[in-house]
Amino acid sequence: MLTKFETSSNQVRGLSFHPKRPWILSSLHTGVIQLWDYRMATLIGTFEEHDGPVRGVHFHISQPLFVSGGDDYKIKVWNYKTHKCLFTLLGHLDYIRTVQFHHECPWIVSASDDQTIRIWNWQSRTCVSVLAGHNHYVMCASFHPKEDLLVSASLDQTVRVWDIAPLRNKKTPPADDDDIMGLTQMNSDLFDATVKYVLEGHDRGVNWAAFHPTLPLIVSGADDRKVKLWRTNETKAWEVDTLRGHSSNVSSVMFHAKHDVIVSNSEDKTIRVWDATKRTEIKTFRRENDRFWILAAHPETNLLAAGHDSGLIVFKLERERPAFALSGDSLLYAKDDSQVIPIQRPRTVSHSPTENAALISSDLDGGSYELYIIRSGVVQRDAKRVSGGGSAVFIARNRFAVLDKSTGQEEVLVVKNLKNEVVKKIPLPIPTYAIFYAGTGALLCRCEGKVVMFDLTQRLVLGEVHTPSVRHVVWSNDMESVALLSKHTIILASRKELVIQCTLHETTTRVKSGAWDDDNGVFIYTTLNHVKYCLPNGDSGIIRTLDVSSDKIFCLDRDGRNKEITVNATEYMFKLALMRKRYDHVARMIKSSRISGQAMVAYLQQKGFPEVALHFVEEEEDERVRFNLAIESGNMSVAVASATKINEKDYWCRLGVEALRQGGNSSIVEFAYQQTRSIERLSFLYLITGNLEKLSKLMKKKDVMGQFQNTLYLGDVKERVKILEKGGLLPLAYITASVHGLKDIAERLSIALGDDVPSLPQGKTHSLLMPPIPVVCGGDWPLLRVMKGIFEGGLESGNDDVEEGDWGDALDMVDVEEDGEGSGWGGLELLDTPFMTPSQGMDVSQIWSQESPLAAEQAAAGSFDTAMSLLHRQLGIKNFAPLKSMLLLDLFSGSHSYLPAFSSSPVLTSLTANLQPPHLRLALLSAMGVCYKARNLATAYNFAKRLLETNPTESQAKTARQIVQAAERNMTDATELNYDFRNPFVICGSTYVPIYRGQENVSCPYCTARFVPSQEGNICGICDLAVIGADASGLLCSPSQVR
Give the Cα separation of 251 and 14 in Å (integer): 12
| Nearest Cα residue to 630 out of 672, 664, 595, 659 | 659
Coil, strand, or helix at residue 308? strand
Q: Per-residue pLDDT averaged across 103-121, rounded?
A: 94
Give the Cα separation of 870 and 888 in Å (integer): 13
| Nearest Cα residue to 719 out of 737, 702, 693 | 737
Output 180-189 pairs: Cβ under 8 A, ≥24 positions apart.
180/90, 181/90, 181/91, 182/91, 182/126, 182/127, 185/126, 185/127, 186/130
Q: Is 828 domain-assigned?
A: no
Among 519, 542, 559, the domain boundary falls at 559
Half-sphere exposure of 1028 (CA within 13 A, CB side): 22
| Nearest Cα residue to 293 out of 56, 3, 111 | 56
Give the Cα separation of 336 and 385 in Å (integer): 14
Percent of the chain residues topping a pLDDT of 90 = 22
Are 194 and 342 in a shared domain?
no
| Nearest Cα residue to 513 out of 371, 326, 316, 363 | 326
Question: Is the alpha carbon torsion for 929, 933, 939, 944 positive or negative?
Answer: positive
Question: Is 491 a residue whose pLDDT tops 50?
Answer: yes
* Region class of 583: left (phi > 0), else alpha (psi between -120 and 50), else beta: alpha
Q: Is 925 domain-assigned?
A: no
Least-confidence region, from 180-194, 266-280, 484-498, 686-700: 180-194
Are 480 and 551 in a shared domain?
yes
What digits encode the pLDDT tens for the residues 243-277? 999 999 999 999 988 888 999 999 999 999 999 88
Chain-centroid distance, C-alpha 786: 37
What digits encode the pLDDT tens for the residues 376-417? 555 555 545 555 556 788 888 788 888 876 655 567 888 888
Q: Is 404 domain-assigned?
A: yes
Question: Is 614 a residue whose pLDDT tops 70?
Answer: no
Q: Strand pairing of 65-70 and 481-485?
A: unpaired
Percent of the chain residues topping a pLDDT of 70 = 72
Domains in the chain, number? 2
47-81 residues labelled b (16+ CB within 10 A) or e (exposed): bebbeebbbbbbbbeeeebbbbbbbbbbbbbbebe
Are 312 and 332 in a shared domain?
no
Half-sphere exposure of 175 (CA within 13 A, CB side): 16
Q: What is the pLDDT of residue 1032?
A: 78
Q: What is the pLDDT of residue 679?
A: 72
Highest mean pLDDT range out of 40-44, 218-222, 428-432? Answer: 218-222
Q: Residue 799 — very low, low, confident or very high, per pLDDT cuts 50/70/90?
A: very low
Q: Per-residue pLDDT averaged across 851-861, rounded?
A: 75
Are 387 and 532 in a shared domain?
yes
Half-sphere exposure of 101 (CA within 13 A, CB side): 25
Strand (E) or helix (H) holding 864 = helix 864-875
Give the Cα separation of 656 and 74 in Å (integer): 63
The answer to whether 656 and 667 have CB atoms below 8 angstroms apart is: no
Q: Is 798 domain-assigned?
A: no
Q: Residue 771 — very low, low, confident or very high, per pLDDT cuts 50/70/90?
A: low
Chain-centroid distance, C-alpha 624: 24
pTM here?
0.49
Q: Is 907 domain-assigned?
A: no
Are 364 and 306 in a shared domain?
no
Are 287 and 400 in a shared domain?
no
Question: Is 465 a residue whose pLDDT tops 50?
Answer: yes
Question: Is 787 a residue whose pLDDT tops 80?
Answer: no
Are 300 and 392 in a shared domain?
no
Q: Residue 701 — very low, low, confident or very high, per pLDDT cuts 50/70/90?
A: low
Least-confidence region, from 500-514, 761-775, 778-792: 778-792
Q: Is 668 domain-assigned?
A: no
Are 178 and 307 in a shared domain?
yes
Q: Is 242 domain-assigned?
A: yes
Are 247 and 367 in a shared domain?
no
What digits encode the pLDDT tens for the residues 628-647? 777 776 677 777 877 888 78
What digits encode the pLDDT tens for the residues 559-607? 656 666 666 666 667 777 777 767 666 666 665 655 655 566 666 656 6
Q: What is the DSSP string of 22-39?
A: SEEEEEETTS-EEEEETT
Torsion of Cα atoms, 358 then 363 then 364 then 366, to 10°: 120
Q: Is 184 domain-assigned?
A: yes
Among 507, 539, 559, the domain boundary falls at 559
In the structure, how many helices (H) and strands (E) does the chain have? 23, 57
CATH code for the domain of 213: 2.130.10.10
The range of the structural domain enclosing residue 180 comes to: 2-316
Q: What is the pLDDT of residue 382?
A: 53
Are 310 and 376 in a shared domain?
no
Q: What is the pLDDT of residue 399?
A: 84
Give the Cα separation of 250 and 253 in Å (integer): 8
Give the Cα separation of 242 and 254 in Å (integer): 14
Give the Cα separation of 204 and 139 in Å (integer): 13
Mean pLDDT of all residues belonging to the chain: 76
Chain-centroid distance, C-alpha 548: 27
More confident residue, 982 or 445: 445
**What would you report as the CA-atom Rg of the chain, rounded to the nearest whole angstrom?**
45
Among 271, 299, 316, the domain boundary falls at 316
Are 292 and 384 in a shared domain?
no
Q: Residue 32 — very low, low, confident or very high, per pLDDT cuts 50/70/90?
A: very high
Determine the residue type at 934.
Answer: A
Are 283 and 334 in a shared domain?
no
Give the Cα separation of 887 and 1006 in Å (integer): 14
More confident residue, 719 or 966: 966
| Nearest Cα residue to 30 out of 43, 13, 5, 7 | 13
What digits encode the pLDDT tens for the residues 504-544? 888 777 888 888 887 888 898 888 778 888 888 888 888 77
